[in-house]
Amino acid sequence: YTFDATFGPDDSQEQVYARTTKPHLAKLVGGELPALTVIAYGATGAGKTHTMMGEGSLRTGAKGAKGGDGAAGASAGIIPRCVIDLFALAPAGARVRASYLEVYNERVFDLLGGGDEPGRPTTALRVCEDEKNGVVKVLGLTEEPVASAEAVVGLLKRGNARRTTEATGANDVSSRSHAVLQLEAELPGGRNRRLSLIDLAGSERASATGNRGARLQEGAHINKSLLALANCINALTDPSAPKPKFRDSKLTLLIKTALESSDVRLVVLACVGPSMASVDDTLNTLKYAHRAKELPTRDVVEE
């Protein structure tokens, strides 16, 4: 398999971000790209959330960042680094709105709804597609204006506290949902730019996780949505395949534009584990990522 870049355990979070995402973010803020989507894919426990979120999201007071937001700590992942650079690079007068949702058991939940009230969201939102222009919207989704990277990280912490996670046989803290953070930037002159940062739940094999009951049902929904994503990628990269069925999953419907539009940029981070026990998962992830490389909008890297 060949990819646009590969990283090992000795590579830093900064190296991963600088090679995979930062150049595209600069083009987004500079007006060259209308949208940028970054997705972490891999089996449960392969390091997706570590890659996207990292540990210790902000170190405040660093020189040169706007609004006193500071710089990312060494262990910060793609998301906090993107957020910091977005505000550092954005021109004066830019306005940014943030939304944060999860896809859990094929239902979409608002992770920012309800203000500061604790607890998981219970009301599912509708996802609608405009038949004329293909624009996909989540009805009733909270969009909060944010003026600094620290404000976004505060929303992330609030949303992550509500995100569905559980202990499984494969991971002590396993994400049971796909999380989508979207930042809409309105640049001077009325130009709108969208940054989507997606932490996918991990693909699972019931025989490996030992999941039962609710965890088993969650795993089935996760695998179903990831299969729908794979099928859409196959359909978009194989001229002889039928049209992609984006409506087979809420996940694929939400990222439809990132997959099929030629004027956006898609970065896929394929996360794999070093253990021989995970060799099957590693091979499946590499096959998935290799096919994603054929999308016209993509950069695919392997960690």
**Residue 48 annotated as binding site:** yes
**Residue 65 annotated as binding site:** no
Token pair recorded at residue 239 = 């001229």
* CB distance 175 to 165 below 8 Å: yes
* CB distance 24 to 33 below 8 Å: yes
Residue with tokens 């956006």: 264
**Residue 44 annotated as binding site:** yes
Judged on CB neighbours under 10 Å (0-12, 13-18, 19+), 116 is: exposed
**Residue 151 annotated as binding site:** no
Collapsing DSSP to helix, strand or coil, 301 comes out as strand
Rg of the chain in Å (alpha carbons): 18
Amino acid at 32: E
Q: Which of 21, 137, 30 is nearest to 88 (CA)?
A: 30
**Residue 256 annotated as binding site:** no
d(CA 260, CA 139): 22
Token pair recorded at residue 55 = 């540990």
**Residue 114 annotated as binding site:** no
Residue with tokens 């929904």: 221
d(CA 73, CA 54): 9
**Residue 43 annotated as binding site:** yes
Give the up-direction half-sphere exposure of residue 198: CA atoms within 13 A in the CB hemisphere. 25
* CB distance 121 to 162 below 8 Å: yes
d(CA 16, CA 29): 20
Binding residues for ATP, as ranges, are 42-49
Binding residues, as ranges, are 42-49
